[in-house]
Amino acid sequence: MGTAERDRGRRGGLRAEDAARLRAAVERSTVVNLTGPPGIGKSALLARLLADAPGRSGPRGTPGTPGTAGAREPAAVVVDLARPDRPPVPEGTGGLLILDGADGPGRTAEALDALGTAPRRLLVVSRRPLAAVEGWTGRVQATVALAPLPEPEVANLAAEAGIEDPAARALVVRLSGGVPLLAGAACRALHAGAEPGDEGAVADQVAGELTERLARELPGTRWQHALRLLATVGSGDEQLLSAGPELFTRLGALSLVRRTPLGLAVREPYRTVLETAYRWRRPLAHHSSRSRAAAYCGTLLARAGTPAARAALVREGLFLNGDATLRGMLFPAAESPVRVAPAHDGDADDIGRLLHGWARRGGFDGARAERITEGWLAHGTSAFRLARDADGRARGLSALLPLGAATADAVEPVLQQHTEHVAAAPRAGGLFLGAAYATEPAAHARILHDILTDSVLAGHLVVSTATADYQRLVRGMGFRLHGSVREDVYRCGRRPEVFSHAFAPASLPLWLERLGGRGAGPGEHLVAGVTRALRHLGDDRALAGSGLLAGPATSTPAALREWLREAVYRLAESGDPVDAEAGAVLAAYYLGGPATTHHQVAGRLHLGRATYFRRLRRGVTAIAAALGEETAAGRGGGVPAGAPAPPRAP
């Protein structure tokens, strides 16, 4: 294939390799499914296939002869099932019947009827793979699935559309996620007067064109708000979306919606487009929706009964509560087909190749990095997990070693003076992350999700990284910073920094709450955790299950007890008379002996019932705020300006 043909194949978002795959499938198979999400270029590819075939002429729905040049093929008939004025599906034998637009109520069933009317070759164009549709299991002989375009090709599309400003092209690439329909709509919005900085305005026009396309799958408009709400909250069940059973079922039938452990979710990049448009149209409603979803996720997390459920809810919580850096790395506006699984003995070459890529990207000295990673490899390939694409090619990896005496020699070079503190007992049983790398951002996000899941299951994660973006990521996730190691072990001009985080089940809601509300006062889970700890201040067994133990200053029941006592006494000595009264209420009720009751304390302090309970709530909230800020500072997150100072010893 020459350069001219390759360029022609890419024009308009079409790729010559896709056309070649489709031609081969049609020539070799009786029933072929051309599939891909909305706007990915299926109909355009089909038109190109027919236009390039000898003997093709006339409008769609008339005979044509798709095939390779010089081949003698029976006539082809194209029927667009989505057109209301289309002719009926013809009956007869021989030839190729092409059914476009096989999405929406009754259309896949109609395509299935056409398959049974007479022996013929059939090409069905659909957004969902027919293998996932009732009645089609086992009937499709070949499936050609179209994938999003690479970023350079999207930039070329924008250039061909007359978008000359580099910032505007970058916006088209970012919003489209490789989908030609979304790229074209973004270009049209820019030509209509939107500026490159008006991401919401551009996304709104893109979302409008997308919604029009979706109408052929789901008539009416009632579902549209539920869809943009779903895009905003990430994953949603029927209760969170306030959708009845019928609407929830209809949403789940849309081609760009998938099912997850937590309910429905919109596929990328459509989710990003819909959420960005919603935030532009109704910013306060968008903020309220995300806040409500975050609180709902925290409630589910506090009640989750299995580690797998907690891991899924932690991912959702990070999506809803995380900052821009965290969301950009963990939740890019693109999906990856890779699957992550443990490496095997035969994967050593792939591991070595990917580790070299990891070292190059980090700017590490190759020989030095190889010596360090050899220590990890000495514990077997099971310490690595590989991300493989649909063709089985390794696209990324993570190095996750179990913490304990057996791996101390492997982790010590990058932990050094912190080894005993963060990697020894009682932390044994957690994981050490040495490397995470992928060849493209969406695959990298899959690897990070896999690391997160394993860390929640293991209960503890230690990270050593000399890379600035990873340091920002773990800081954004609220990990505790232990400091730098003594040496520049990778010879890159930067010393690795060591972080850790305990994923204790009881602490997870408080952790996510702090991520979402840092600097805005304590959330309900943190306040509730402080209340429970004060109520059981003398019970070591009860305190051992407290989520507050995740804090650097409250890592044991004894430390938590001492911290809370000091905090109460400090509040009672406050120069603010209302705060001092609140501290006195806490001291009298929680530290005054087991027989003390609210009624007794209120009487002793000469407070009315309403005033007493207001002071009680104020005191607990102040203690929770101080604990949250001390925890943030101890994890390297800093203390926001104006935040209450952590308590000190009286």
What are the pLDDT digits (tens) for 74-101?
A: 457 888 887 877 777 777 656 788 888 8
Cβ of 546: how many Cβ atoms within 10 Å? 21
Residue ranges covered by each domain of the chain: 3-145, 151-330, 339-505, 518-634
pLDDT at 218 over 80: yes
Please provide the average confidence, as pLDDT, over all residues in the chain: 84
**Residue type present at position 508:** L
Section 108-131 average pLDDT = 80
In angstroms, the CA 551 to CA 244 distance is 41
Q: How many CB atoms lie within 10 A of CB 573?
A: 12
- Candidates 87, 88, 96, 100; CA nearest to 126 is 100
- Tell me whether the omega of the peptide bond preceding residue 269 falls within 30 degrees of 0, making it cis: yes
In this structure, what token pair is assigned to residue 393?
């090619």
Q: How many angstroms separate the CA atoms of 191 and 300, rounded?
A: 45
CB contact set of 250 (below 8 Å; sequence gap of 6+): 218, 223
Alpha carbon of residue 264 to chain centroid: 14
> Can you give the pLDDT at residue 523?
62
pLDDT at 543: 85
Q: How many CA atoms lie within 13 A of 641 on its CB side?
A: 0
- As a whole number, mean pLDDT of residues 605-612 equals 87
The three-state secondary structure class of 205 is helix
Percentages of the chain per state (helix, strand, coil), in multiples of 5: 55, 10, 35
What is residue 54's predicted lDDT score, i.e. its pLDDT? 52
| Segment among 34-38, 187-191, 628-632, 639-643 with least mean pLDDT | 639-643
**Rounded Cα distance, 363 and 493, in Å:** 9
CA angle 532, 534, 537 (to 5 degrees): 105
pLDDT beyond 80 at 624: yes
Selection from 43-47, 84-88, 207-211, 597-601 with the highest mean pLDDT: 207-211
pLDDT at residue 357 tops 80: yes
Q: Which range has the worst mean pLDDT, 443-457, 472-486, 505-519?
A: 505-519
Percent of the chain with pLDDT over 90: 46
Note the residue count of the chain.
650
| CB burial of residue 391 (10 Å; 0-12, 13-18, 19+) | exposed
The CATH class given to the 3-145 domain equals: alpha beta
Average pLDDT over residues 167-174: 95
- Rounded mean pLDDT, 449-464: 93
What is the CATH topology of the domain spanning 339-505? Aminopeptidase (3.40.630)
396 pLDDT higher than 80: yes
pLDDT at 58 over 50: no
pLDDT band, residue 614 (cuts 50/70/90):
confident
Q: Output the 3-class SS for 33-82.
A: EEECCCCCCHHHHHHHHHHHCCCCCCCCCCCECCCCCCCCCCCEEEEECC
User: Quick one: pLDDT band at residue 456, thresholds 50, 70, 90?
Assistant: very high
pLDDT at 380 over 90: no
Look at residue 132 and tell me whether its pLDDT is greater than 90: no
Tell me the mean pLDDT in the region 506-515.
83
Residue 304: pLDDT over 50 = yes
What gap in Å lies between CA 327 and CA 280, rounded to an integer? 19
Please, how many CA atoms are within 13 Å of residue 372, restricted to the half-sphere of its CB? 26
Please give the single-letter amino acid code of residue 358. Answer: W
Q: Taking residues 558-580, report their average pLDDT.
A: 88
Single-letter residue type at 452? L
**C-alpha torsion 305→306→307→311, nearest 10:** -70
